[in-house]
Structure 1
Amino acid sequence: MSSRYTILPRLVEILAETEGCAPHELDYSLQEYIETDALVTLAAADHTDWQLTFQVPDHTVEIRGSGEILVDDTRYEQPEEVKNQTS
């Protein structure tokens, strides 16, 4: 995955969009529900054959090694510039 692509800001943006609020208005922190350092390490791995599922308030989150993020089965793909760099 590109060093310019960070999973955490994208995930927070997606969760905020799902909640209909700004990222700083979320009622929780990701660190309360997942070890964020481990997620960053996993997302930076060379292999893409993995997926991670966890819960945050009112939502199920699934992150795949392909860069896809799913929140309650709604799929969010990785940004196009990242796809082009990892192809």
Structure 2
Amino acid sequence: MRGAKEQTYRYESVYIIIKKQTLPEQIIGKIAAEENVEPENLELQLQRYVSTDAIQDLANHRNDAWRLQFETPNHVVEITGNGTVLIDGQ
């Protein structure tokens, strides 16, 4: 192939990292949404009202036939084994 030019292609890799939120992070996110603030601006320490380690242990449990309800000063939080997080029933 006379006169043919060599073509070089440059590909850039794009990596997308999707971090799955822990159940305690989901709870904080839902409470923050209820209060119309960003989660990092929420003035609530979840650990003061429930063991976040216990919540995560429940979330990691093979059996999803469980339900946990607890209260914070302004909300009633209910979580279930299928991943549902309800704040004040919603």
Asked if these proteins are the same fold (TM beyond 0.5), I'd say yes
- Name structure 1 gaps, 5 residues minimum: 75-87
Q: Structure 2 stretches of 5 or more lacking a match?
A: 1-19
CA distance in 1, matches of 2:67, 2:54: 13
Identity percentage over the alignment? 35
* 1:34 pairs with 2:50: yes
Q: What is the TM-score when the length of structure 1 is the normalising length?
A: 0.77
Indicate yes or no: 2:17 matched with 1:17. no
Larger RCO: 1 or 2 (CA < 8 Å, sep 6+)? 1
Runs of 4+ in 1 over 3 A off after TM superposition: none
What is the correspondence of 1:23-62 to structure 2 with a 5 Å cutoff? 23-62=39-78
TM-score w.r.t. the length of structure 2 is: 0.74
Task: Please identify which structure carries the higher helix content.
Answer: 1
- Deviation sequence 1:7-54 (CA, Å, 0-9, x none): 121111111001110111112110110011011001110001000000
Work out whether 1:65 is the aligned partner of 2:81. Answer: yes
Rg larger in structure? 2
* Higher share of residues assigned strand: 1
